Amino acid sequence: MNGLERMPSVRLLCTSGGRVAEVLAEHRGKVLGVISYSASEPDFSSGDLIHVWVELEVFGEESCHEIWVSENPVSVQRQDGFEYSSDGDFLFCRSLHGECMLQGLELGARSAYADLFDLLDRSGYPFLLRAWNYFPGINDAGRGIERYREFNVGRHEAFCQKGRLIEEGNVPAACAIGTRRGGLVICFLAGRNKGMAIENPRQVNAYRYPGKYGPKSPTFSRGMLVGDALLISGTASIVGSETMHPGDVMRQLEETLENLRTVGSMARQAGFVAEDFRGLCLNVYLRSREDFDSVRKRLEIEFGPHAKIFCMQAEICRTDLLVEIEAFWIPVGRKAA
């Protein structure tokens, strides 16, 4: 299996708010981190957990939660302004930066990423596998450019400052989503071992986008294989580097699904194995709540009853994109979480 089976794998349990306490109790001592999506902040004051709240409305649910778990005991540390957990194979970190809303996202993103790269290097988990980025007003004007493009400049500069090559195989899977309010929220999943980056031949690699999309390109790969898990970045209706079907959410959804299928196909060529959609979790970001029912029905047809699908209202990185989907596909039955 060309090394994938030998590499440790992380596990993800996606659940709605009603079961989160039960799942956490079942995996006590082995939880790397929890990312919660809800309109109001959930209570995670009890327990020694790395917890991140993303303020987004979840359609049809009070909340949803990504619970990243390990097969090994997890230790939690809070020092030098960081909160992170590790298990000997993986490190999960959260980083909150409210002040960068005043300083500007370019400076804030550069500083946050540079500091986090330093943490990974000195902790012995140098390989960045997945990054989550959230901040309000993602499409608003920043300091002369759109805030998302401003963020991309800072992130790119941090990669360069810390000597991290921006080329195929060296950038993580990632998302960048607009939240209701608050500061810059970043989460990292890093490893002692390098993952296998996956790209999409239908699309220009994101870090090679032409200059019309900003002074610096977004620094992410389309997906990342981590052991037997496939982590797919935020995916939308983009072919080459161009947005397809502006103004038509269902045609954009079909293009997005084709991109997801292609990333899955490329991952299979690299050794990914999944017999069905069990273990697949989709986070679906919609600009308009009016699109929820039709999008949800189409996704249920595409993925059947086994996939877990959570739809949220959010701003997306381009103003002409109406839907974005990120996927975490961790096959069930090969290793139990």
In a domain, 6, yes or no: no
Whichever domain contains 186, its CATH number is 3.30.1330.40
**Cα torsion through 181, 147, 153, 235, rounded to 10:** 80
Residue 80 is predicted with a pLDDT of 72
When computed from its CA atoms, the radius of gyration of the chain, rounded to whole angstroms, is 18
In a domain, 65, yes or no: yes
> Would residue 324 show up in a list of annotated catalytic residues for this protein?
yes
In a domain, 4, yes or no: no
Strands (E) in 8-163, as ranges, are 11-16, 31-38, 51-55, 57-58, 63-69, 75-79, 82-86, 90-97, 127-136
Structure token pair of residue 126:
């140098």
Question: Residue 318 belongs to what domain range?
Answer: 11-329
In a domain, 336, yes or no: no
Residues 166-212 have pLDDT tens digits of 998 899 999 999 998 888 999 999 999 999 999 999 999 999 999 99
Residue closest to 223 by CA, chosen among 327, 81, 302, 137: 327
In a domain, 3, yes or no: no
In a domain, 100, yes or no: yes
In a domain, 337, yes or no: no
- Number of structural domains (the chain) is 1
In a domain, 83, yes or no: yes
pTM passes above 0.75: yes
Enumerate the H helices of the chain as residue ranges: 20-26, 100-103, 105-123, 147-161, 249-269, 292-303
Residues in the chain: 337
Residues 16-38 have pLDDT tens digits of 988 898 999 999 999 999 999 99
Q: Among residues 57, 255, 315, 324, which one is catalytic?
A: 324
